[in-house]
Chains A and B, each alone.
Chain A
Amino acid sequence: GAVVSQHPSRVICKSGTSVKIECRSLDFQATTMFWYRQFPKQSLMLMATSNEGSKATYEQGVEKDKFLINHASLTLSTLTVTSAHPEDSSFYICSASPIGDTQYFGPGTRLTVL
């Protein structure tokens, strides 16, 4: 199957700083990628749809100024958590798919905000 990577796998930061998470499709091009957030022992909640070359589409209740998404190329999408606070601590997962194929998920990024 297709491979999606994320970097970093784990990050700890101080409250008020910004954190950037990268999502890459390693062996295919993806015009669309998705960002999810998962709280402990809960399901994945879709945050936004990242579109290459255009603005991201955010789900209801997700602050677009808080979670900045940039999809600058067909293999890279970035999620920046701006002015992070402890309540932003979570597991962030991205996904992408080759055209007409199933979604493949990255390994996730564990964000801890102190």
Chain B
Amino acid sequence: AQSVAQPEDQVNVAEGNPLTVKCTYSVSGNPYLFWYVQYPNRGLQFLLKYITGDNLVKGSYGFEAEFNKSQTSFHLKKPSALVSDSALYFCASADGGGYQKVTFGTGTKLQVIP
């Protein structure tokens, strides 16, 4: 069984400040981890994924995530937040590298304050 947890329902950050959205995972075997973003009444957009390799993964729109095996975490980060980053962020895990079904966390609403 695999699962991901997002401990924060909402994160508020001032524009220009660094942001972190937290995610922890519990998977058997090698973890396949993802971050997606959802804007209101829209589908999900892929940001980045960790399959194997470097622990620091760079993705779309300046986002990156750090895979930490000892802490079983995969936090999403960005050095300087934009107001347009305000959205709902989902951490997810998957079997088989992501081309099989995906299990989502509960989501974290990011609010970037001008």
Contact = CB atoms under 8 A, between A and B. Distances in A.
A104 B46 contact: yes
Interface residues of B, number: 22
Interface string A4-45: 101000000000000000000000000010100000001110
B36 to A, nearest CB: 7
From A4, A32, A49, A105, residue with most partner B Cβ within 10 Å = A105
Q: For the side of the interface on A, what is the size category?
A: 20 to 34
A59 B104 CA distance: 15
B105 interface: yes
Interface in B57-100: 90, 94, 97-100
Nearest to A95: B102
Contact of A1 (B42, B46, B101, B107): B46
Contacts, number: 59
Interface of B: 34, 36, 41-46, 49, 90, 94, 97-107
A43 B99 contact: no
18 contacts: A32-B99, A34-B101, A42-B107, A43-B107, A44-B44, A46-B101, A46-B102, A100-B99, A101-B99, A102-B49, A102-B99, A103-B94, A103-B98, A103-B102, A104-B46, A105-B45, A107-B43, A110-B41
B42 A44 contact: no
Nearest to A106: B43
Given A102-B99, A103-B94, 4 more contacts: A43-B107, A93-B43, A100-B97, A100-B99
B90 A44 contact: yes
A105 B44 contact: yes
Given A34-B102, A100-B97, A43 B90 contact: yes
Contacts of B102: 34, 46, 95, 103
B43 A97 contact: no
Nearest to B94: A103
B52 to A, nearest CB: 14
Instruction: Give the top 6 A-B pairs by smallest Cβ distance, nearest first.
Output: A105-B44, A97-B99, A107-B43, A105-B43, A102-B98, A108-B43
